[in-house]
């Protein structure tokens, strides 16, 4: 991998690559030399990754980006930051004509089809860093559903899609406005609006986490970004897991 061309001006340093294995892997490999608030984006990825080892198909025409923060947000704020980004992506998609919902914690769906996903990762070498990976289908729909059977969609199904770089710049500027103080809770004051964006809110869901499966009604998210599920035994909060409709 080699460092790509830089584009500016912006509070973020933008690094554009024509192709790369994975922008997250690129940022991880160069975390020691890339500046805080560097956004790396690529036209295509050959080994794009999703959560839980899934493949992220990355044909030309989509947005494949990784945002580097170093030092990283505090551990309790890190998962809330990706939820903040998920909510901002929904706002952007709605502005582009697609009513998007957050499938907690890291998927963005339109009409029950996946349009975008987030992949937050952390590390400590050579100094602590955090990367928020983002994939969004803009011009084309990847051919295959993901390994969970979620069908894909793209923004092109809802109108003329913007250029990937324009989507990235829009997200960065929304992120800077929504979270100007990096020591602050990224979700402060945003729980109600994010709750309104939750996929399956009020619906029956199954949450798989480790060997456990919890069934109940999805009733919202807590201040800490955990998902809240009303079960027969009472309402429980979960910090991780994979949601499915019942
Ligand atoms: C998911 O839905 O499971 C997360 C998908 C994240 C995909 C993006 S594309 C840019 C960045 N580089 C990767 O390899 N993955 C993320």
23 lines ligand 1 (CB under 6 A): yes
**Would you report the helix, strand and coil content of the chain in percent, each value rounded to 5?**
25, 35, 40
Cα 189-79-220 angle, rounded to 5 deg? 55
What atom in ligand 1 is closest to the CA of residue 54?
A: 3
Token duo for residue 151: 């069908």
Mean pLDDT of 137-151: 80
Distance 68 CA to ligand 1 centre (A): 14
What pLDDT shows up at residue 134? 98
Residues in the chain: 246
Decide if pLDDT at 4 tops 50: no
Q: What are 91-131's pLDDT values in tens digits?
A: 999 999 999 999 999 999 999 999 999 999 999 999 999 99
Residue nearest to atom 2 of ligand 1 (CA): 117
Tell me which residue of 78, 73, 46, 69 sits closest to 59, measured CA to CA: 46
Decide if pLDDT at 226 tops 50: yes
Higher pLDDT, 40 or 211: 40
Q: What are 37-94's pLDDT values in tens digits?
A: 999 999 999 999 999 889 999 999 999 999 999 999 999 999 999 999 999 999 999 9
Q: What residues are paired with 34 via a beta bridge?
A: none
117 lines ligand 1 (CB under 6 A): yes
Place of tokens 């599920």: 229
pTM equals 0.94
Distance 184 CA to ligand 1 centre (A): 26
Decide if pLDDT at 230 tops 60: yes
Place of tokens 């559903």: 145
* Residue 86 near residue 132, CB atoms below 8 Å: no
């Amino acid at each position: 991998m080699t460092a790509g061309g830089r584009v500016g001006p912006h509070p973020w340093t933008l690094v554009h690559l024509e192709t790369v294995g994975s922008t997250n892997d690129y940022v991880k490999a160069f975390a020691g030399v890339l500046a805080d608030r560097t956004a790396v984006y690529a036209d295509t990825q050959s080994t794009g990754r999703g959560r839980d080892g899934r493949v992220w198909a990355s044909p030309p025409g989509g947005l494949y980006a990784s945002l580097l923060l170093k030092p990283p947000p505090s551990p309790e704020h890190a998962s809330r930051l990706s939820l903040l980004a998920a909510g901002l992506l929904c706002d952007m998609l709605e502005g582009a004509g697609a009513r998007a919902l957050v499938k907690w914690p890291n998927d963005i769906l339109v009409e029950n089809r996946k349009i975008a996903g987030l992949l937050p990762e952390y590390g400590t070498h050579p100094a602590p860093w955090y990367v928020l990976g983002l994939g969004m289908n803009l011009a084309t729909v990847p051919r295959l559903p993901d390994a969970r059977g979620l069908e894909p969609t793209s923004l092109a199904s809802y109108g003329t899609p913007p250029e990937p770089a324009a989507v990235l710049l829009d997200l960065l500027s929304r992120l800077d406005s929504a979270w100007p103080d990096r020591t602050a809770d990224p979700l402060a004051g945003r729980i109600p609006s994010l709750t309104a964006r939750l996929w399956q809110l009020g619906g029956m869901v199954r949450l798989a986490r480790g060997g456990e499966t919890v069934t109940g009604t999805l009733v919202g998210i807590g201040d800490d970004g955990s998902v809240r599920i009303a079960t027969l035994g009472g309402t429980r909060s979960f910090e991780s897991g994979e949601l499915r409709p019942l």
